[in-house]
Amino acid sequence: MDAPSRLATVSLFPDWILWVSFSDAREYCCWVRTPEGMALSDGERYASEEAALEAGRIFVYFSLEPEIAGEWLGRQNWSGGL
């Protein structure tokens, strides 16, 4: 049986919602809500909230249309990496 999980963080993108959950098993999971309303997870377990959030950001970035991705990426502060 899966350990109960809690919401760790939420991040918003144009038409997308990204969230990270944290379980009692001390694992983080990445989730996204697509513009079509589907909730998706990559099925991976991450050791840190930052790693799970980065995986979600990469998924969203590569799912955006190239012109939207470029505009959105230009507005971000990536001092800590992608």
Average pLDDT across each block of 10 residues of the chain; the chain has 82 residues. List them in order: 76 89 90 93 93 90 68 54 46
pTM over 0.75: no
Q: Is 73 helix (H, G, I), strand (E, B) or coil?
A: helix
pLDDT (0 to 100) of residue 26:
86
pLDDT (0 to 100) of residue 33:
94
Q: Is 4 helix (H, G, I), strand (E, B) or coil?
A: coil
**Domain ranges within the chain, ordered by starting residue:** 5-74
Read off the amino acid at residue 38: M
Core vs surface per residue 55-78: b (16+ CB within 10 A) or e: bbbebbbeebeeeebeeeeeeeee
